[in-house]
A and B are shown apart, each in its own frame.
Chain A
Amino acid sequence: MKGEEIQAILLGLLYVRGDEGIEVKEAADILETSESEADAQLTNCQAYVETRVPGLQIHKAADKYRLVTDKTIAPYLAKLTESPVRSKLSQAALETLAIIAYNQPIGRAEIDDIRGVKSEKAIQTLANKKLISEAGRAASIGRPILYQTTVHFLEAFHVTSLEELPPLSEDATEESALEAEQFFQSLEGET
């Protein structure tokens, strides 16, 4: 098969699959080629759409590629729909998700510990939205369920891989430590 033909097939697959996307493995099966070759072709396709197809782009999340519209035309697309854009996650859910994203796999007790409140409901919400999934059980007492983020999490936040998430900033850590110190000093000063 010529490169152009492969590109045509892949673009067709991406169009048909829409938001479900296509995994590298699936593409390899369909093209009857190796996964690395399929991945390379999908990357080519991504570059092609990037430069040659205005309004569309191919987004990669882990091993999955999806054909999506470009961000720049979003305001025009928004005119098509009256309904507000998708349900947003609550602060509790976002905090819980952040903790899981940076510490996966992680159990509920540790999440509760970091947040200082019970996170059961937030975890349930995230699991219902398929943003997190169970990742086996810890070897510790009670064998608690561990959680990890899903590929859908990457898609929903338009991230290609977990490595793309910025590191938890150390500057902020020092800053807040300073703030905390000042806070306790002020406690002390007043007593």
Chain B
Amino acid sequence: MERYSVKIDSFEGPLDLLLHLIQQAEVDIYNIPVSDITNHYLEYVRTMQELELNVASEYLVMAATLLEIKSKMLLPQTEEKEEMLLEAEEDDPHAHLMTRLVEYKKYKEAAAYLQEKEKQAALYYAKHSTDVCSGAEQQNEPNLSEEVSLFDLLQAYQSLQNRQSRSAVRTVTTIEAEELSIEERMDDILSSLESNGTVEFSALFPVKQRAYQIVTFLAILELMKDGKVTCLQSENFGDITVTTRGGRPKG
């Protein structure tokens, strides 16, 4: 399932947002109203809630952590308690969060470094590797070497249609009820290939009827997909030759 992800501002998560707030705090240390920070968080969460529940929950956890820290700070603390807190740093949300922030910031900086390296690396160009094998293969099949793409086939089909529509005499036609299945045409094509080995693409369309042509075209595609035939084209826009896959037993 595809997730619809939306990026708001340029924050990458609650830690990133918090880091951003801290950096702002450096500029104006004594003037950060906690309510503002909490509001900032909640605004963020509200915007995200309908879009990315997963992310929103992470932001909620951070908001809750901040509130927890704030409430703990409000409590009067004896010296003894503070010592205990130091010992149990793991349980102290303040210390824990600080550690995480510091850790995260390290990697955020490393990411910035990598980004710079990535930019730099783009300045070194390497050429694509030269295909030294293709030359040898070409000698075996001097004229029919290039595998044809689907687009070549489509183009051939289009030009065939153009040619036929030009030559077709406009007459009143009757609709024939006869139905031709792709499987039938596949068998037809295979049997004509069996006797000849190869057959011209255009020769497979003797009947100038749209349904017939489409069924034939689909049959060729189906045979290609199954690997029963190969289409070869000696030059751009040249006629396409359909052959059985060389040497492979019929499936």
Residues on A close to B: CB < 8 A? 15-21, 57, 59, 66-71, 74, 77, 85-86, 88-89, 91-92, 94-95, 97-99, 101-102, 113-118, 121, 155-159, 165-166, 168-169, 172-173, 176-177, 179-191
Contacts and interface: CB of A to CB of B under 8 A. Distances in A.
Q: Interface residues of B: mostly helix, strand, loop or mixed?
A: helix
Contacts of B106: 168-169, 172-173
B146 to A, nearest CB: 22
Contact of B12 (A19, A92, A159, A185): A92
Contacts of B5: 121
Contacts of B62: 116
A89 B115 contact: yes
A8 B12 CA distance: 50
Interface string B67-94: 0011001100000000000000000001
Given A116-B13, A182-B25, A187-B70, A94 B58 contact: no
Interface of B: 3, 5, 10, 12-16, 19, 21-23, 25-26, 29-34, 37, 54-55, 58, 62, 69-70, 73-74, 94, 98, 100-115, 117-118, 120-130, 132
Contacts of A187: 32, 34, 37, 69-70, 73
A159 B120 CA distance: 10
Contacts of B102: 173, 176-177, 180
Given A19-B127, A97-B114, A116-B14, A86 B122 contact: yes
Contact of B110 (A15, A74, A102): A102
A67 B115 CA distance: 23
Contact of A95 (B55, B73, B100, B108): B108
Contacts of A165: 110, 113
Contacts of A166: 113
Contacts of B127: 15, 18-19, 67
A115 B13 contact: yes
Contacts of B94: 184
Nearest to A19: B126
A17 B126 CA distance: 9
Nearest to A174: B102
- Among B15, B62, B127, the one with the most A-chain Cβ atoms within 10 Å of its Cβ is B127
B163 to A, nearest CB: 37
A18 B129 contact: yes
Contacts of A158: 117, 120-121, 124
8 contacts: A17-B129, A18-B128, A116-B16, A155-B121, A156-B121, A157-B114, A158-B121, A188-B73
Contacts of B21: 183
Contacts of B107: 95, 98-99, 102, 114-115, 168
Contact of A68 (B13, B25, B54, B126): B126
Given A188-B73, A191-B73, 10 more contacts: A95-B107, A98-B114, A115-B15, A117-B55, A155-B121, A168-B107, A179-B26, A183-B25, A187-B70, A187-B73
A121 B94 CA distance: 30
A157 B12 CA distance: 22
Nearest to A181: B98
Contact of A69 (B74, B121, B124, B129): B124
Contact of A115 (B30, B73, B104): B104
A186 B25 contact: yes
Contacts of B31: 186
A169 B109 contact: yes
A101 B94 CA distance: 28
B104 A19 contact: no
B118 A89 contact: yes
A179 B104 CA distance: 14
Contact of B132 (A16, A69, A88, A102): A16
B105 A172 contact: yes
A94 B115 contact: yes
